[in-house]
Structure 1
Amino acid sequence: SSSRNYGGRRRYSLSTATQLRVNDSCVQNTSSASEGEYSCIGLLSPSSLSKLPPSVVNLTITRSNLTALHSSHLQHLTNLHRLSIRDSLLVMRNDTWGAIPEISVISLDGCWSNLPDDRHSNAPMNTRSDRPHLVLIPKVWSGMDSLRRLELSKCNVIVRDAEVGFSALPPNCKLVFTEGSLECQSSHDYLLGMVEAGRADVSKNITCFTLGDISMFNTYYTFNDKPLLDVLKLRKSMELCPSKCSCVLLGIRSMDRPLLSVNCTNAGLTRLPDRIPPLASTLVMSNNKLSNMDALFSNRHYSRLANCDFSDNFISNINGTALVSYISSRSHDIKFVLRNNNLTTFPVWELSSFYSRSHRSGKKHLPAFELSGNPWDCHNCSFSPYFKTFVYDNMFHIKDYAEVRCDNTGERIFHTDFDRQCNPPPSLLLPIDVLNIFMALVLSLLLADFAYNFYQYRTHGKLPWIVRHCKIC
């Protein structure tokens, strides 16, 4: 067929050499190798379909504006093998499509629907987004036992009853999705299994989209336009979620930076789980019984974390060398929440050296900490003054620096005078001074005695007392 534009309206003319008009909308493609191939362009009424002969094998509906397509409109086409619908407003109503016994291929290309989505509002789907959507109802194809292939192209698909979804296709039917997008729901996780089993062929170009209110958060971490198969693989990785924890995929900034949270709060854990989803970005271990976090630095499953919450545990020591080695390999920011543990000291020397090197080299991704609520030992003068300096110098990285307090006094680290506490003023007399004074007195007495004896000897010829009484002398 060819088209001409008349006053802004496009009309279609048919080449009589290759096509035979059946009615005002449908023609038979006589040049086709198959005599049963028919095309319907610009359908306005289902009556045009009812006039098609039962010999139709392949039917192509293009640019249709039918508000509803029922199986009854095609039920008389007992030989219909392939149904193709292109660039059309399509609503496949939920009725007995299995009444068309021979249909084996349904091809939907560039189709959209005005079927309302009850989960959000009663407004037509195409009025709530800048892209038209195709709403599919699994019950439509679940009764088509003869269906062997469902083809989707250039369609943005929403599947009602997503938990059933494409898994309701007959066992021998294959889904072929070559171009377009699918509304991303966790209920579609079964689709990856269909791909692995060969029951679905989903192109890598198929992307996700989401409906709902747009906010700064879900614009920054969004599923929109992310590769569908990669999103499904991310969700499949959540099978590694520890048994006492919950894992949630909230969004995706980039495929290597998903917002994937592992929450193990109040799980009674005494050590870190051996495995978590490898691309997890947030680990929440608050209110457990952890005594250390060493496994965090050596387990490869924890290599992508950006937020680590270890608050309200029993951690008393942190390996500074392992900590610096762990954060040195980061290509993104990382935050450690260590509030309300049993820390009395902190690896200030290792971290101070790391921060200094990072500032000199221009490294942008530096670790942040929350340290309040720990029993910091301010009597330890080999640690406390350096800890105060570390907190002061890195207050932009110590998020709760103003609440870091000494355990013994409750005084804020910032307000504690460690110079006075660790370097008290000297007393008036030191022990060495007392010894020197005593020795000076003894020496003075000896000199005085010598002078007296010398005077007695020269004046009276009298020898000293010790000489007179010394028998040896």
Structure 2
Amino acid sequence: METAELASSSSEIEASASDALPQLQEGAVAAAASGAMSCCVCLWVILAAGVVTVSGINVKEVSTINEAQTTCHPPRILEDSNLLHVECEGLKTLQNVRMLLKKRIWVRLGSLTIANSNLTTDLSVDDLVYYPALHTLTLRRSRLHDWKESQMSSVPRVRKLVIDQCWDNDTFLAKVKELTLTISPKLQDAFPDVEELYLLDLFMPFIPELSSMKNLKKIVIDKGAAKCDPENLWMLEWYNAGKLEINSTLCFVVDKTEDGLESMHMMFSFVDLKLMKGLRDIRTAIDDCPVPCHCEIYGYQRMVEPITTVDCTSANWTQLPDLIPSHTRRLILTNNRITNISKVFTNPYYQSLSLIRLKNNLVDHIDGELLSNYLHNHSKDFSINLINNKLETLPVKHLERMYDDYTRKGHRYIPIFHLGGNPWNCDDCAFLVPFQNLIFYQDLQREGLKEIRCGEGRYAEGQPIIMLPVRSYCKVDPLLDPLDILNICLGILLLLFILNFLHNLVQYQRHGKLPWIITRFPCC
């Protein structure tokens, strides 16, 4: 008896599958008639994708657009199950599925794929209430709207959710680099029973921690890209715990393709950087960040080198920290009480700096040898902001030699100093003359030249050094003093006397003649 029932059930499944095509065609006709009152049943979809290179990786670009009717393909029987799998395309809402399928298929629908669709309204699991056996939902190559909370209690328990090549942009045919999808918290609330989540070839600026999916045992992220951001560090923890599998997924980061400070503008793009490496770099930067500073990776240079910024503004420090994150390029130390900055030039953790801001500190001295050696061995642009400190002099001789050497060799990187608001010693002409030359000729500071002024109680107090008549104030001393000239003359006379004596001696030895002046004396 049981065998007969199983045979009858099997034959019914085969009959259902064989009858599905005409049933689906009838359903499609009915759906078309119903949809004609509101909108046409055709929409443009992507059937083929070209490739465009963006910062070193391939990004999908629309190349061929064809029409696709609102339809569902013939169902097929799932392995080891009496349930069916159906793929539908060209949909505008999930409710279209119900209009395209016969009722006797609803109860046996175990897997549903929505492809090439423009789902412009909020999606709800309530639209799947007619399929109580549904356990797998796949969304592929479609534009998705946001999800709304379910209002029904008898919705199917979807245990496997696959989102493949989907996006949520305002336009169905988005531009290159705009096909992004945000995995919102509403998606988690819509599928609380999901055990397996697959995010395939998606470009996701933000992925919230999937804490609402209490039953989630496995998450797979394959290809595509996600933003390298501290908010996504939960992915690193899940990955290390074995709950997350990531394959060939890249980072959304700031792309730095140039070296100089002039190219420090931000460009949100892709780089050929694996997501896990980016998240590990962020984790390292946060772990090595000195308290109470804020450390952040703003992007990458040459695809692999992180650009780390350490902001220690108003930390009430009196000295520089011994440890900062590796690859720190920008160090912000504004509004502290730091007096000595020699550590910048000697500590290996500071070797990658391109910019250091020490505005509003108490720096009163810079070692010329250390500064010169640091800049000569520095392979990048370097800018240092020393506005409003206590500097009275600068190692101008070292800087002159360095700038001359850079100019002679055609050096690409020229260091920049911001020096306004310091009490410069304008009484010292040995410093003032070359310092003004550096400001004027060597482009020592590109902005705020007039803010570099003589200190209080000095010559030309409060006056911009660039405007001072330094040559007239600092008169050049003559090369020789009068006493030096007298000594030189006496030396020349003495030399002539010695030469004359030697000449007379030779003449006497050869010819026996005395010098003519001797013959004039009476004694001779």
Query: Normalised by the size of structure 1, how large is the TM-score?
Result: 0.71
What SS does the aligned partner of 1:175 have?
strand
The alpha-carbon deviation at position 136 of structure 1 amounts to 3.4
Q: What is the number of residues matched between the two proteins? A: 400
- RMSD of the alignment, in Å? 4.0
Q: Does 1:332 align with 2:376?
A: no
Other-structure match for 1:113: 168
CA distance, structure 2, for counterparts of residue 208 and residue 53 of structure 1: 41
Written as runs of structure 1 = structure 2, the 5 A alignment for 1:83-122 is: 83-91=137-145, 93-96=147-150, 103-113=158-168
What SS does the aligned partner of 2:237 have?
helix
Measured against aligned partners, the alpha-carbon deviations of 1:176-232 in whole angstroms (never above 9, x if no partner) come to 11122335665333223222322222334333289xxxxxx9994223214444543
Other-structure match for 1:223: 268
Please identify runs of 4+ aligned residues in structure 1 that moved more than 6 A: 16-19
The alpha-carbon deviation at position 26 of structure 1 amounts to 4.3
The alpha-carbon deviation at position 317 of structure 1 amounts to 1.1
What SS does the aligned partner of 2:223 have?
strand
Q: Does 1:54 align with 2:107?
A: yes
Other-structure match for 1:451: none
Written as runs of structure 1 = structure 2, the 5 A alignment for 1:61-76 is: 61-67=114-120, 69-76=123-130
What SS does the aligned partner of 1:349 have?
helix
Q: Flag the 1:283–1:36 CA change in 2: closer, same or farther, 3 A.
A: same
Using the TM superposition, name which of 96-105 and 408-417 deviates more: 96-105
Q: Does 1:353 align with 2:401?
A: yes
The alpha-carbon deviation at position 258 of structure 1 amounts to 5.4
CA distance, structure 1, for counterparts of residue 333 and residue 213 of structure 2: 42
What SS does the aligned partner of 2:219 have?
strand
Q: Say if 1:221 and 1:259, in contact at 8 Å, map to a contact too.
A: no
The alpha-carbon deviation at position 271 of structure 1 amounts to 0.8
Q: Flag the 1:93–1:310 CA change in 2: closer, same or farther, 3 A.
A: closer
Measured against aligned partners, the alpha-carbon deviations of 1:212-254 in whole angstroms (never above 9, x if no partner) come to xxxxx99942232144445434443234333333345555565
Measured against aligned partners, the alpha-carbon deviations of 1:388-407 in whole angstroms (never above 9, x if no partner) come to 34334413556444443332
CA distance, structure 1, for counterparts of residue 224 and residue 203 of structure 2: 5
What SS does the aligned partner of 1:168 have?
coil
Instruction: Return the letter of the residue paired with 1:149.
Output: E
Aligned residues with identical type, % of pairs: 26
Q: Flag the 1:282–1:38 CA change in 2: closer, same or farther, 3 A.
A: same
Q: Does 1:387 align with 2:439?
A: no
CA distance, structure 2, for counterparts of residue 169 and residue 300 of structure 1: 45
Written as runs of structure 1 = structure 2, the 5 A alignment for 1:24-173 is: 24=24, 25-30=72-77, 36-42=83-89, 44=91, 45-47=96-98, 48=100, 51=103, 52-67=105-120, 69-91=123-145, 93-96=147-150, 103-113=158-168, 124=170, 126=172, 130=176, 131-142=178-189, 144=191, 146-157=193-204, 164-170=208-214, 172-173=216-217
Query: Normalised by the size of structure 2, how large is the TM-score?
Result: 0.64
The alpha-carbon deviation at position 293 of structure 1 amounts to 0.5
Q: Say if 2:205 and 2:252, in contact at 8 Å, map to a contact too.
A: no
Measured against aligned partners, the alpha-carbon deviations of 1:353-408 in whole angstroms (never above 9, x if no partner) come to 22222222222012111222222223334433333343344135564444433320
Other-structure match for 1:413: 465
Q: Does 1:313 align with 2:369?
A: no
CA distance, structure 2, for counterparts of residue 263 and residue 245 of structure 1: 5
Q: Flag the 1:393–1:181 CA change in 2: closer, same or farther, 3 A.
A: same
CA distance, structure 1, for counterparts of residue 235 and residue 102 of structure 2: 36
Q: Say if 1:371 and 1:398, in contact at 8 Å, map to a contact too.
A: no
Measured against aligned partners, the alpha-carbon deviations of 1:304-357 in whole angstroms (never above 9, x if no partner) come to 222211122211111122222222233321111112222222122222222222
**Greater RCO, 1 or 2 (C-alpha within 8 Å, sep 6+):** 2
Gaps of 5+ in 2: 1-13, 25-71, 255-261, 487-524
Using the TM superposition, name which of 411-420 and 351-360 deviates more: 411-420
Q: Say if 1:126 and 1:132, in contact at 8 Å, map to a contact too.
A: no
CA distance, structure 2, for counterparts of residue 102 and residue 282 of structure 1: 50
Instruction: Return the letter of the residue paired with 2:97.
Output: P
CA distance, structure 2, for counterparts of residue 219 and residue 422 of structure 1: 44
Measured against aligned partners, the alpha-carbon deviations of 1:94-113 in whole angstroms (never above 9, x if no partner) come to 33499566533211112233
Q: Flag the 1:303–1:61 CA change in 2: closer, same or farther, 3 A.
A: same
What SS does the aligned partner of 2:435 have?
helix
